[in-house]
Amino acid sequence: MKLSGHMEFEVIEQSADRVVAEMPVQAGIRNPFGVVHAGAMMWLADVCASILVAGRTDFLPGEKGFPLGIHLFASFLANQPDGVLRATSAFVKRGRQLSVVRTTIHGNRERLLAEVTTSHVPSLPSTSSTDG
């Protein structure tokens, strides 16, 4: 079996304390059973949390201080085959060296689909262009 996909989302609200984004359910994010793949929900939650911690959306590859996710915990509570997912990220703890973010993902009719908690630390710049 060969599958391919495409994910897109839009940040619809961003403040120092909260990020809200929406992602349409489309063929590229559905699993073989026709509902949203858990990995797509996790990706959305991680990106929203990273935007919240960074306080911006314009990132450069390899830049110092990018909020690197070091721990992700997710509870998937429900799912859906269509519509829009809405992720809302807010701080549990905001720190210079460690930030913890809780992201909820709601679907159609405000149904809670997932609750994700992520921990982030500032990344260090890459010192080598090869993996070793």
Q: What is the DSSP string of 27-47?
A: GGGB-TTSSB-HHHHHHHHHH
Decide if 28 contacts 4 (C-beta within 8 A): yes
What is the count of structural domains for the chain? 1
Say how many residues make up the chain.
Answer: 132
In-domain check, residue 17: yes
Place of tokens 């489309």: 26
CB atoms within 10 A of CB 109: 7
In-domain check, residue 113: yes
pLDDT for the residue numbered 131: 47
In-domain check, residue 88: yes
Prediction pTM value: 0.87
- Gap between the Cα atoms of 90 and 111, Å rounded: 18
In-domain check, residue 5: no
What is the full per-residue pLDDT of the chain (132 aa) written as tens digits? 666 677 899 999 999 999 999 999 998 899 989 999 999 999 999 999 999 999 988 777 767 767 889 999 999 999 999 999 999 999 999 999 999 999 999 999 999 999 999 999 987 765 544 444
In-domain check, residue 129: no
In-domain check, residue 92: yes
Torsion 30-106-116-102 (CA) sign: positive
CATH number at residue 36: 3.10.129.10
β-bridge partners, 106? 86, 112
In-domain check, residue 97: yes
CB atoms within 10 A of CB 107: 22
pLDDT for the residue numbered 132: 44
In-domain check, residue 29: yes
What is the span of the domain harbouring residue 52? 10-56+66-122
CB atoms within 10 A of CB 53: 27
